[in-house]
Structure 1
Amino acid sequence: MFIDGNEMYVDDNEYDRYLDDNEYDRYLDALYPGKRAADPRDPGETFLPEDGVYRWDRMGGHRETYAGLPVAEHRMLTGRDTVPDPSLFAWPLHGSEVYEEADGPGFTAGLEELLATVDGSRMQAIVVAGISARDAPAVLAANAHRLPRLRSLFLGFIEPDYQISWIQQGDITPVLEAFPFLERLDVRGSEGLHLCPVRHASLKVLRFETGGLPGDVVRVLGRCELPVLEHLELWLGVAEYGGDATVNDLEGVLSGTGLPALRRLGLRDSEIQDEVAAAVAAAPVVARLEALSLAMGELSDAGAEALLSGQPLTHLRHLDLHHHFLSEDMGRRIRRALPGVEVDLSEPQAHLRTWRYVAVSE
């Protein structure tokens, strides 16, 4: 018998049977008719629907890789004489049991345990696992000299069936200050989330998966200098779960002043998606974008009308509006207006236009 994460298996054969794609697909089809598996693409390279990054599937398919690397399994760290090349995997950092809150001493012990097995000088990616990543940034920052090649970090790397609003975060500023060569930072959950204005010369991908992104974090992002950032993705969420950002809070981001290299902008999962669309229609940053996502929120015909009435969007390669509340006529208008743009109008919710909701909140 062995344990992999939270799963227990009698032997390797049972584990292999569980991993069998065909067997799993049959099981999933029977349990959830019509549900598709998580999108295998990397959300740091494109904008995915929420079931591509935040839905349970075969061992959490979207969680099996991070930043193009497979996430190391628990059994790779125990019971082996040799550990594979550290640069070829994303390594999990635990501060406590997965469903228990972690603190600073817990992450310190977890990091020591990890570095006792894996050569930290060759690690390129770390995923901070569990329901709390609150103290992980400070612990990692204090040990930055032992992780000189760290390029990708995920805070809040936990099963997508765990309620996103419960995931604990803290001040993420220390990792941006201590790791000048960090290229990617993903954050899941927003309770306690804090950020100070920073300048970071290497960060290319910055993603926040939340059911409610605090307005003060959004405002600070607009004051940061991120000269090589290409992909910025904000799941704004709803006020009930801390998403109190207003359109005015987005002014710094939409000006693009500190984001000269930005090519993909996602302002997603918002209950004020119509207002966001209207602001985007006149935003200076849009002219240099290749991809824009206003998906997963409560976008209606009013927001789409504002978008079509604003600056040209024909230069875009991709416009993501999936999970929307648009009429069929408005959908046709958008496609006609943007004939050379790949437009995602999947997951229409028009039949529920009297009751709108975001894709991910609690």
Structure 2
Amino acid sequence: MTIGEHLDALYRLPSFTFPGPDAPADRLPEPDSVAWRLGSGAYDNDETWTDAFARFRAAVDTARVRALIVGGWEDAYDTAPTPIVEALVEAREAFPALRALFLGDLVMEECEISWIHQTDVTPLLNAYPALEEFGVRGGTGLEFTALRHGALRRLVAETGGLPVEVVRGIGASDLPALEHLDLWLGTPDYGGDSEAADLEPILSGARLPRLRHLALRNSEMQDAVAAAVAAAPVVERLEVLDLSMGVLTDEGAVALLSGQPLTHLKKLDLHHNYLSETVAERVRETLVAAGVEVDLDRDDADEDTEDDGTVWRYVAVGE
């Protein structure tokens, strides 16, 4: 699986790409009616992202903007968006209504997910204390320092490899309003160096009293994650548990079923898995009859077998 399409919505608002410097800008939508996407070419561009941002601020009543999507920036495969973060922090007084922000909406033609260079995103959350949704794509150079944010309801980190310090930073953060947490843990090949034990502060739920949707996915260590989740205190308050897109085998699924009951869930997402039909059927029999929606679609899960019998399995999103 690859990311081939830009975000089509954010904060329940349809996305709209702010026109380039040579396009007419006299028929723009109302500032609060769309999620504004601002981007510059990762390879060829007529202006820098910060120049496009300056044009945007001059053309749009930013006091009414509710959602902002940061698209590509120049040399994103080699350059961190630190100047973009600095520009957004500097402009915080001009965006009093901003409630949603996504940093790094690049598709594979622009920059593969694990090539995207990122930066410390904590200043954005500190600058916008009323922000309710925040997402970031790309794990190279990504930093997230422990913080307290009282309004954030949705946090997403899409990576081919999520650095352990980011996992720990999120786990150490006080996020009393957070309802939806989605972490793509990835693989060591692309910087995903966390272990299941690093998830313990998240799985305890101590700093996440309102969490209802937990996704720990796209992981090479999905069996260990499933085993940790099986006894996690946070699970009893969840409505959706998502362990999809990773290398989940019978071992992890059996561990999950052998732990605490999951029949209170509205949905269990295990798509892109490596389960035998026997274990998959056991999952169905245990949960579907209790009214849980279960996604066991193998999707594009694939494996290779070497001549010596070694089996290679893959997460859904790597490079």
In 1, are the aligned partners of 2:302 and 2:313 still within 8 Å (CA)? no
- Cα deviation for residue 139 of structure 1 reads 1.8
Structure 2 match to 1:86: 31
Q: Which runs of 5+ in 1 are unaligned?
A: 1-50
Aligned equivalent of 1:68, options 12, 24, 34:
12
Is 2:54 the counterpart of 1:97?
Answer: no
Counterparts of residues 200-279 of structure 1 (less than 5 Å): 200-279=149-228
Larger RCO, structures 1/2 (Cα 8 Å, 6+ apart) = 2
In 1, are the aligned partners of 2:303 and 2:314 still within 8 Å (CA)? no
Aligned equivalent of 2:88, options 140, 159, 172:
140
Q: Find the aligned partners of 2:142 and 2:302 in 1 and give their Cα distance.
A: 34
Q: Find the aligned partners of 2:302 and 2:159 in 1 and give their Cα distance.
A: 24
- Cα deviation for residue 193 of structure 1 reads 0.4
> Alpha carbons of 1:217 and 1:233: their partners in 2 closer, same or farther (altered >3 Å)?
same
Is 2:106 the counterpart of 1:158?
Answer: yes
In 1, are the aligned partners of 2:139 and 2:159 still within 8 Å (CA)? yes
Matched residue of 2:104: which SS? strand
Q: Which runs of 5+ in 2 are unaligned?
A: 306-310
> Alpha carbons of 1:351 and 1:193: their partners in 2 closer, same or farther (altered >3 Å)?
closer
Q: Percent identity?
A: 49
Q: Find the aligned partners of 1:314 and 1:143 in 2 and give their Cα distance.
A: 47
- Amino acid paired to 1:360: V
In 2, are the aligned partners of 1:326 and 1:350 still within 8 Å (CA)? no
> Alpha carbons of 1:75 and 1:219: their partners in 2 closer, same or farther (altered >3 Å)?
closer
In 1, are the aligned partners of 2:172 and 2:201 still within 8 Å (CA)? yes
> Alpha carbons of 1:112 and 1:180: their partners in 2 closer, same or farther (altered >3 Å)?
same
- Amino acid paired to 1:66: L
Aligned equivalent of 1:174, options 119, 123, 139:
123
Aligned equivalent of 2:135, options 186, 191, 216:
186
In 2, are the aligned partners of 1:294 and 1:321 still within 8 Å (CA)? yes
In 2, are the aligned partners of 1:184 and 1:204 still within 8 Å (CA)? yes
- Amino acid paired to 2:296: L
What does the per-residue CA deviation read over 1:89-109, in whole Å, with 9 as the maximum and x for residues that have no partner? 111234x433379xxx95443
In 2, are the aligned partners of 1:98 and 1:129 still within 8 Å (CA)? no
- Cα deviation for residue 141 of structure 1 reads 1.1
Q: Find the aligned partners of 1:165 and 1:76 in 2 and give their Cα distance.
A: 27
Structure 2 match to 1:343: 294
- TM-score relative to the length of structure 2: 0.89
Structure 1 match to 2:317: 360
- TM-score relative to the length of structure 1: 0.79
Matched residue of 1:72: which SS? strand
Structure 1 match to 2:59: 117
Relative to total residues, which structure has the larger helix share, 1 or 2?
Answer: 1
- Cα deviation for residue 250 of structure 1 reads 0.5
What does the per-residue CA deviation read over 1:18-61, in whole Å, with 9 as the maximum and x for residues that have no partner? xxxxxxxxxxxxxxxxxxxxxxxxxxxxxxxxx6xx543xxx3x
Matched residue of 1:323: which SS? coil
- Amino acid paired to 1:181: A
In 2, are the aligned partners of 1:137 and 1:172 still within 8 Å (CA)? yes
Aligned equivalent of 2:68, options 110, 116, 126:
126
What does the per-residue CA deviation read over 1:190-237, in whole Å, with 9 as the maximum and x for residues that have no partner? 111001111111111100110000001001111101111110000000
What does the per-residue CA deviation read over 1:105-137, in whole Å, with 9 as the maximum and x for residues that have no partner? 954433211101111111111111113534322
- Cα deviation for residue 159 of structure 1 reads 1.9
Aligned equivalent of 1:295, options 217, 239, 244:
244
Q: Find the aligned partners of 2:212 and 2:71 in 1 and give their Cα distance.
A: 29
Is 2:234 the counterpart of 1:285?
Answer: yes
Q: How many residues align?
A: 302
Structure 2 match to 1:40: none
- Amino acid paired to 2:42: V
Q: Find the aligned partners of 1:185 and 1:99 in 2 and give their Cα distance.
A: 26
Matched residue of 1:112: which SS? helix
Report the aligned-residue RMSD: 2.1
Q: Find the aligned partners of 1:150 and 1:195 in 2 and give their Cα distance.
A: 20
Matched residue of 1:343: which SS? strand
- Cα deviation for residue 276 of structure 1 reads 0.3
